[in-house]
Amino acid sequence: MKKNIHSKRQFLISLMVLMSLTFSAFAAAPKRIITLSGPLTETVDALGSGAQIVAVDVTSTYPAYINKIPKVSKDRAISAEGIISFSPDLVLAPENMISKAIQYQLSSAGIKVVVIKQEYSPKGALAFIRQVAAALGNTAKGEELVKQTSASVEQALVSVKKNPKSPKVLFLYARGTGVMMVAGKDTSLDAVIRLSGAKNAAQGFSKFKPYTTEALVNANPDVILMFDFGYKSLGGINSILKMPGVSLSNAGKNKRIIEMDGELLTNFSVRLGQAISQLNAKW
């Protein structure tokens, strides 16, 4: 009899612990989320929490329904007041997006802020997914997504090895004919160019630097790569071919000006495998 009572007591204790953990996990799940980068927005959606996103930054456009969600600002300048106006309980931000002062203001308003580090590599993409999943309190779904993404990236890298091309690629960032920039080392563009089997024609510097005719001629890329919106902002291939120095490069001579969806190209999260495959197919 005592044994039965002890067993029932242990069962009840175990049940109460399980219920407590379940309740805590449910209570911790964010109901109103703001994401401040395209990769963060995509990852939250892929983890099944898209319905909880109440506002995004201007770079977030995927999936398509995201375009109907309010933007937290009209440009990349983020303010505490703008974020607070949406009454979020969780803000996901990439490194260096919001200042310590704004983070303090948001925390003082009872808003949880999680800064997510992004590393531009296949391992970095998986770590990124895990960080977002942890912030959402959904690590189980996160591991499922990590497994899917890992398989997709591995398949893409195998395809790259089967299509051994090594063009020199210069990434040119443009929004109209104003200041244009080229991507050097330590950028997402440099990383995805290399992962797709090509070489970055821009050498000797990190991050971005202003585009110059001299730099283009010296780099002599086989391909000029651009975001789709930048390509359109310059008037398309015919206008780009008329830009100073372009006609002197191999890319210009062979009319190898390539455009690609910017958000996909810089994803380094759940769609990294897709980005690698699509870019490699363009070489």
pLDDT tens sequence across 72-89 = 987 778 999 999 999 999
- Domain chopping of the chain, boundaries: 33-151, 162-282
Are 49 and 60 in contact by the 8 Å Cβ rule? The answer is no
Pick the closest to residue 92 from 146, 121, 128, 139 (CA basis). 128
**Residue 29 has what pLDDT?**
83
One-letter amino acid for residue 186 of the chain:
D
Confidence band of 71 (pLDDT split at 50, 70, 90)? very high
HEC string of 79-130? CHHHHHCCCCCEEEEECCCCCHHHHHHHHHCCCEEEEECCCCCHHHHHHHHH
**Residue 44 has what pLDDT?**
98
Q: Do β-strands 223-227 and 199-200 pair in parallel, antiparallel, or remain unpaired?
A: unpaired
Give the CA radius of gyration of the chain: 23
pTM: 0.86
**Residue 25 has what pLDDT?**
42
One-letter amino acid for residue 118 of the chain:
Q
DSSP secondary structure string for all residues of 180-192: -EEE-BSSHHHHH
Encoded tokens for 123: 């391992």
Are 133 and 141 in contact by the 8 Å Cβ rule? The answer is yes
The three-point CA angle 65-70-72 to 5° equals: 130
Place of tokens 């810089």: 266
Cis (ω within 30 of 0) for the bond into 63? yes
pLDDT tens profile 138-161: 999 999 999 999 999 999 999 999
3-state DSSP assignment of residue 209: strand
Pick the closest to residue 224 from 190, 259, 194 (CA basis). 259
Pick the closest to residue 145 from 125, 120, 117 (CA basis). 125
Q: CB count, 10 Å around CB of 4?
A: 8
Q: Tell me the HSE value of 56 on the side-chain side, using a 13 A CA sphere.
A: 25
Q: Tell me the HSE value of 240 on the side-chain side, using a 13 A CA sphere.
A: 30
The CATH class of the 33-151 domain is: alpha beta
Q: Which residues contact 120 (CB under 8 A, 6 or more apart)?
A: 187, 188, 190, 191, 192, 268
Q: Does 33-151 match 162-282 in CATH topology? A: yes
pLDDT tens profile 227-259: 999 999 999 999 999 999 999 999 999 999 999
pLDDT tens profile 179-191: 799 999 999 999 9
The CATH class of the 162-282 domain is: alpha beta
The helix (H) or strand (E) run that includes residue 227 is strand 223-227
- pLDDT above 70: residue 22: no
- pLDDT above 90: residue 8: no
Query: Among positive and negative, which fits the CA dihedral 45, 228, 125, 90?
Result: negative
Pick the closest to residue 177 from 255, 252, 233 (CA basis). 233
